[in-house]
């Protein structure tokens, strides 16, 4: 917190501010990850070399390929140690790989900006000082201590403008917003603690199917709450440093929701799988849409979820979870088109309620499969029969596709 206070309060020049943020990120990486912080430093160094040496129109292909190969190597190494050698994996390595995934987002975001000419970085071999000044904001963006451990993702141009605004037009004091969000985290963690305590008193394999389904729903909710808390804490860190502020009208309360991966109530109120997918981990969803969905001419939905599977590490549970997610989103589009009642229909509220229940059941299956990563999650879904819900959606999708073909 002292580091954040210094960033906001001291009257640094632009160069010193970028240095401050970069050094803070490097120190945080070394303290939390130890020797494994070299994963991030290696990626950053390679990216800087590519930006300096490759034409902007081609840099994204090189950056994307090298970065994903580097990240995949460490994912496979973890799986090799876990499943083949049966060795415990260092928590520092897990944290480093998680941060490497976030770094991949920032690196590829900049490379796409360069390819699409949204950002221009010019270097001159005769002006080394000017080149260093150009690279410093980029280095600060990649290794910023505010987003190193938890995100969320923001664009490079927005990061630069926010850093400039800290000195020229500083945002209002974020203390109230930070305190409110920390209270939300406290409440979420209290709910999760009570929920986990309740779940520990029941055995889903020795109960009637309804109890088993409710048990998995509770388990999946507790897993999701961990993400909501993590995202809120990341927001607090960024807000405290002065990032994430939206300009507001005179008399209106300051809006500090500019950097957010999702709101608990908005996400959990989603009555369709497609809505849930857009709202869940919002900045990552936008990144995937830009990186894969808009660039694929054939099967963009399945290619997007397929890449997300690769980016997350390709565990067996990931295969089942993300492919099920893609199929159920596709099913949602077709089912909604055929079955959604007209706005004036009295059945609209009933349909929305049933659709919300179906979304909750499907999300519970996906979260369980992805978070357990191995066969244990799938066994749990089969024992409690909740896995029938996404299966029903997929069967209905094939039926509608066949009906549409006729």
Catalytic residues: 281, 312
> Which residues of 84-232 form beta strands (DSSP E)?
none
| Residue keyed to tokens 């009570």 | 194
Tokens read off for 188: 């979420």
Phi, psi (5° rounding) for residue 292?
-120, -55
Alpha helices in 340-387 (DSSP H): 348-372, 375-384
Q: Work out the end-to-end distance of the chain between its first and last CA atoms, rounded to an integer number of angstroms.
A: 63
3-state helix, strand, coil in the chain (%, to 5): 75, 0, 25
Q: Provide the β-strand partners of residue 255.
A: 246
The candidate with the shortest Cα–Cα distance to 112, out of 151, 163, 67, is 67
DSSP-derived secondary structure letter, 245: P
Phi, psi (5° rounding) for residue 246?
-100, 140
Contact at 8 Å (CB) between 400 and 338?
Answer: yes
Residues 6+ apart with CB under 8 A from 157: 113, 118, 119
Contact at 8 Å (CB) between 261 and 231?
Answer: yes
DSSP 65-118: HHHHHHHHHHHHHHHIIIIIS-PPPPHHHHHHHHHHHHHHHHHHHHHHHHHTTS
């Amino acid at each position: 917190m002292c580091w954040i206070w210094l960033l906001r309060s001291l009257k640094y020049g632009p160069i010193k501010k970028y240095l401050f943020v970069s050094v803070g990120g490097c120190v945080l990486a070394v303290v939390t990850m130890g020797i494994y912080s070299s994963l991030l430093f290696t990626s950053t160094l390679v990216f800087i070399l590519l930006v300096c040496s490759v034409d902007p129109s081609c840099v994204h292909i090189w950056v994307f390929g090298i970065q994903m190969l580097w990240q995949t190597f460490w994912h496979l190494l973890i799986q090799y140690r876990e499943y083949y050698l049966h060795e415990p994996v260092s928590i520092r390595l897990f944290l480093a790989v998680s941060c490497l995934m976030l770094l991949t987002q920032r690196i590829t975001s900049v490379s796409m900006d360069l390819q699409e000419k949204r950002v221009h970085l010019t270097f001159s071999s005769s002006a080394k000082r000017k080149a260093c000044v150009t690279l410093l904001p980029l280095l600060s963006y990649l290794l910023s201590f505010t987003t190193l451990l938890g995100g969320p993702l923001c664009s490079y141009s927005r990061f630069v403008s926010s850093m400039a605004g800290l000195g020229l037009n500083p945002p209002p004091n974020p203390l109230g917003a930070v305190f409110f969000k920390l209270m939300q985290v406290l409440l979420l963690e209290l709910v999760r603690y009570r929920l986990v305590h309740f779940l520990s008193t029941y055995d889903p394999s020795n109960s009637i199917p309804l109890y088993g389904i409710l048990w998995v729903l509770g388990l999946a909710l507790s897993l999701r709450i961990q993400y909501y808390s993590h995202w809120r804490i990341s927001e607090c860190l960024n807000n405290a440093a002065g990032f994430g502020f939206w300009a507001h009208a005179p008399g209106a309360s300051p809006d500090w929701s500019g950097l957010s991966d999702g709101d608990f109530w908005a996400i959990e109120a989603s009555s369709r799988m497609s809505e849930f997918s857009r709202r869940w981990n919002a900045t990552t969803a936008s990144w995937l849409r830009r990186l894969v969905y808009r660039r694929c001419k054939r099967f963009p939905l399945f290619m997007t979820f397929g890449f997300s599977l690769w980016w997350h590490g390709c565990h067996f549970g990931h295969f089942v979870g993300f492919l099920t997610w893609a199929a159920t989103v596709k099913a949602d589009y077709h089912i909604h088109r055929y079955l959604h009642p007209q706005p004036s229909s009295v059945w609209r509220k009933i349909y929305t309620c049933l659709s919300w229940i179906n979304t909750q059941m499907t999300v519970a299956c996906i979260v369980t499969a992805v978070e357990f990563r191995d066969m244990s999650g799938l066994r749990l879904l089969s024992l409690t029969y909740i896995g029938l819900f996404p299966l029903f959606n997929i069967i209905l999708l094939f039926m509608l596709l066949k009906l549409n073909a006729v």
